Structures are given as C-alpha cells and as structure tokens.
A and B are shown apart, each in its own frame.
Chain A
C-alpha cells in the first residue's frame, strides 16, 4: 500500500514544531526526525537542531501530529468509478490530512469475498497515496441474511466487518455474526437504524420535516437497534462498534455498556458534530445523509459525548455522489456527503468555538481508531510509521468545490468558511500532499 520507497536516507527533520501526540497526551514544542518510513526520533532536543544532512522542514510553530485515520470512507471502486476511485479518494484524503482510510464494502460488487478484498488491496497499493484498509461485508451482498467468510477475509487482510449502510434486521443473523466473529477476534462495525422504521423516510422527524412535508424518522430508530445489539454483545462477547451515532439516547446506551465492561465502542460522523437538520433549509440535497442530520440539541449532545470520551471515533463518512444522484427533489436524491478533505477543518470548528479541546478531538481521529483497528500508526513515537500531518490551526480559508480533489463535489461545506489548514501530509516518510497556497480566503 505504501508507495515511493523513501529516497531520503538522510531523513527529514521537522523543526520548530508544536508536537501533539494524542496517544501520550503530550503537546509541546519540539522537532521530529523521519528516517525511511518511520519516526526515528522526536522531542524538545530536535526543536532547533537537525542532524547533519537531514532535509529540514521549518514548521514555524505549527502543529505536527499523527496523520488522521478515517474508518468510514465510501468510494465508487469497483462499480461506480465515475463517482470516486481509490486513487481520487486517496488524494482527497491526503489533502485533508488523512493518512489511513478504511474503505467500506458498499460497492458493486459488494466486497464480500476474499478475491475482492484482495482486489481492493492491490488497487490501493498501485494507485492510492495513503494507507488503505478494507472493511469487508459481514453478510453476503450486505443483504443481512447469510454470513460471509469472515475468517478467510480477515486472514486476507480485512480489518473489520460491517453491513455497510444497512442494519441487519434479523436478530439471529446478528447474534451469529457476533458469536462467530469473536472466535477470530474480528471487529463488527454496525450501522444502527431500524430498517422498518427508516423505510421511505428521508430526514429526521420533527418540526422541520413536518414543515417541509418530508417523511421523517424518529431517532429512536437508531437507539432501538443499538440496544438490541448491546444485548447481543452481552450474550456473545463479540467486539462491536456502532459506526455513527447521532443522539444522547444512544450515548446513554453506550455509556451503560462500557460501564458493564462490554467490548462496545462507537463513532460519530463529522456531519453530525457540525451540522443539524436546519441546514437542509430549502431542500438542499447535499445535507441528505444517513443517518439523517438531527436537531441542534442532538448535535451538541454528541459533541459533549465526544469531549467526555463516550464517543471513541470521528469519521468523515465520505460518500461521493454526483449530479445524477443528487440533482433531484430531496426525497428522490441519494444519501451521502463527501468529507475527507474537510474532516479536520470542520472538526477544528468545534475547537475554535470552544466546544471541545484539541486533544480529545485529535484522539478520536488518531490513536482511538488505531487502537480499535490494531494499527501501529496514529501516534508520535520512535519507530512508529511516519504518517504525519502538519497543520496551521489558525489559517482561514473558504471551501471551494472546484478546488476539492474528490471526484464528486457533494460537499455540505461548499462555500463554508474554515479555520485550520493542512500544510503537509506525509505517509510512510513520503510527502503526499503539500499545500500550494491557492485557497480562496
């Protein structure tokens, strides 16, 4: 998966940096030396002085932290390459400071067998500029009926198993998947939305949906499935991660599961941390996502849950859709918003607004997903992979879809003002993105 064997035998020295390592909680001035594809050294002693012959990058006091890990990325490869390929998604990731992305199996065909896991890995190795891992389907065709070859796919490299954008309605299937996956130590990642309650709905239920005349779904559709799943974890002991929660009621379920020491974790998408149902306004389809955007109260509850550590992971839920799926009346448009390139900048909104500290924010995009997925990246320490991102926290910019690297342009943040810019992204010791200073401000 890693490209460009590093030419820098002498290494690259990042001097005058603000080193932030969410794994250790350290936030201090210093420097970092990269040799080959790993971090060779770091600390205060490297703040001003580089070893001889190392290439020097003056960080000018900006933040140097582990590259982000995004464990929910949809691409169009295979099957819908006109929306996004592994290559285009990886360039979008690099521009957003994401050095590891986990791609979802919701493709055509569905990634539900060993040969397809292998296909994605080979395509990524040959075309992607960031680390790519495969999250494979846990039921054939994501239909929620027949279990896939979880053991063989895990051996082939699948990092976790999921039913993609659909919840498994059949409780017995869900129980068996959790039970079986446990024997392989495989992580089950589940989208929690009751399919019957959700059927035919296009947004959150409430006053906004009622005014717009759109069929809405109550957020209980999420908590109902989550509660069932937690019961199943209790009787099976399987490792379980709820992929994208959206409300306080669900967080209460997670908190109680964690208090009982169950192997349960959860994520939230950047959309649900920074947007709410009012953003839909006059039927803006770029704000149609799954699960749907909730109320402002729900959004703030999720931010608080993140700050409290109840939410483990932030994902972009990058989901490229193009004109033929989005230029429709709201009820007929597809779900999904792109988010790789704006993930960090949107997350920094929460920091700049004083809603959350920098450290818990970065943890949820670095060390937490790394631990969950068993990855060596996501931390600043000696011999860890040199997956790094250099960020100017204060730099203002305006999102311009024409400048986005993603192939599809369905960004809910188009024309939004951001504060915080990725200046440089490094994957395994190679620079894969360098800010060229071409933003609109």
Chain B
C-alpha cells in the first residue's frame, strides 16, 4: 500500500507533534506498527529492541488507557518501564515542571513519555532533558500517537487513508486528538471535516485545512470515517453547551445520523466514551465500530514509535 510514496524512516529525536511529519515518515511508522500488531497476536510477544533501556512514563494528568498502552509497548520491547504519577507527588509540593524534568533527567532515562495539562509543556520539557521525549498529550495541543493509531486503524480497515472523507465530531475546541488528526490525516491525503456546535470550534479552524460543519447530518453526509470525540462534562459550566440531553440530540451519534454516512463507514472514538452523550450505546457496540481495534493498534503504534526512536538513541 502507498507504494508511490517514499517510506522515509522516521528519524527524529522527539515525537512532539504531528505538524510537520511527512507522509513518508508516517507510513514508515505505520508499516512498523503493522508488524508490531502481528507480533502482538503471537503467544510470545516480547522482543529485546529496548533491552537495557529505561522508559519513564511521566503523567501530570491522569490517564488509564494511554499510560498502560505505553507501559505495555515498552515492556514488550524489553525496556525497563517506570510509571511516575506526578499529579500525586512532587508537583503538589510546588516543584515546577522544569525542576521535575531536571530531576528525572539526572536519573538518566532513555525515553520519557509525557502527558501534561498545558499546551506546549512537553516541548518545553524536551528542551531541558537529554533523552528522547514522546508527547502523550499536552493540553489542547497535540497527542501524536493517538493520530498515528487512528491512521493505522483506518489503513488496516480500509486499505488506505488517502481520499477518504473523515468527519471529526464533537468538542474540537478543547481536543488535542482533533488537532493531531487534522494534521496527520491531511498529510496522508484524507479529506477532513470537523463537525461541532460553533461554541466548540476553535477560531480560524478552517485554516488548518478542514471543512467546517455545525450540522451533524450535513457533516456526516457521505463520510467514510466518523470519528467521535469525548465531550468533557465540565464544558457545561462554561456555557459551551446547555445540557447533555440537547448535545446528544444534535451531536450525539445515533443510527439516524449514522445513516447519512457511507454504508460501510467506520465508527471511531479515542475513549473514554460517554455513552448517551456523544455516542449512543448501541452505536459504540456496532459491527462497524472499530473502537476496540483502536486500543489494540495503540499498543502497536507505540511500539513502532519506540522502536524507531530507539535506533537514534546513543550507543545503539
């Protein structure tokens, strides 16, 4: 697949954003992830690409899915993995992000996987440490491995990404998943739409290369992929949407709205889901839902990223 595009090996010290990744780099990572997905289905899943290496999961924001996915990916490649839940440790004692980073740096990890609630925080941290850094989500900015796993899921199900119409629906304003996917899917040649009430659309979002819809039925019309985003309930307080009931009525994915998409359209969600808020329960468990595949591909993509980055680690 994608034989015409050069598969340039991913050769970056850090993975911080999808902005600027080339199609060649992305496809090379997805190829590697395809192999990882196969090996993950074997009885013996462990390899030794990262043997002797230390991977630290540094999560300033609670996460189950992403953190365990990176942990598993690291362990399957033979790394020593440590989980630091910073939300409950030194930060509450007043230590700044940079001081925390410097402290961890002194412990000489090889790879840091970082999630932080502030946009740009992971990039700031990457400037201060000597090891490789992977952004596992920074505020409303980026979550590159999520976009990679979404692309992998799409590519495996549809055989391609290029030319597909992808509708990203829901809270675009606060979503790093949306921003990462907009960048990455555009680079791979998909036609990206965003669908949301105007209060949940960032200013000038058109300039990121998307078609903007505020009506779900129009936005889903003829879509190959329906990608739902989580509505954070705290958005109710800021008067972004009046109620979950009204939100579900107009923007929740149900059978009626789904019928506007192509008959073979895939249903995706980065999780965790609010059933009955942005997605009807029966849709989440629909035969065309690939939500559980996304989780599986998450581990594979993270293994691919770690493997590609391991090649650049000193003394490899």
Contact = CB atoms under 8 A, between A and B. Distances in A.
Given A214-B140, A324-B96, A327-B96, A209 B120 contact: no
A82 to B, nearest CB: 16
A209 B203 contact: yes
A327 B203 contact: no
A329 B121 CA distance: 5
B205 A210 contact: yes
A174 to B, nearest CB: 24
Contacts of A324: 96
A213 B123 contact: no
Given A329-B97, A330-B120, A331-B120, A213 B207 contact: no
A216 interface: yes
A408 to B, nearest CB: 17
Nearest to A331: B118
B210 to A, nearest CB: 11
Contacts of B121: 329
A328 B116 CA distance: 12
B142 interface: yes
A251 B204 CA distance: 24
A207 interface: yes
A211 interface: yes
B138 interface: yes
B204 A329 contact: no
A206 B120 contact: no
A218 B98 contact: no
Contact of A213 (B97, B98, B138, B203): B138
Contact of B119 (A205, A213, A327): A213
Contacts of A213: 119-120, 138-142, 176, 179
Interface in A172-220: 205-207, 209-216, 218
A283 interface: yes
B96 A212 contact: no
A210 B202 contact: yes
Contact of A210 (B120, B176, B207): B207
Interface residues of A, number: 21
Interface in A312-341: 324, 327-332
Interface residues of B, number: 24
Given A213-B119, A328-B97, A206 B124 contact: no
B211 interface: no
Interface string B140-166: 111000000000000000000000000
Interface in A241-281: none
A268 to B, nearest CB: 23
Contacts of B246: none
A109 B97 CA distance: 29
Interface in A107-164: none
A282 interface: yes
B124 A329 contact: yes
A329 B126 CA distance: 12
Nearest to B143: A213
16 contacts: A206-B203, A206-B204, A207-B203, A209-B202, A211-B19, A212-B119, A213-B119, A213-B139, A213-B140, A213-B142, A216-B202, A282-B120, A283-B123, A329-B121, A331-B120, A331-B139
Interface of B: 19, 96-98, 116, 118-121, 123-124, 138-142, 176, 179, 202-205, 207-208
Given A328-B97, A329-B116, 13 more contacts: A205-B202, A206-B203, A207-B204, A207-B207, A211-B19, A213-B140, A213-B141, A216-B203, A218-B203, A329-B120, A330-B119, A330-B120, A331-B139
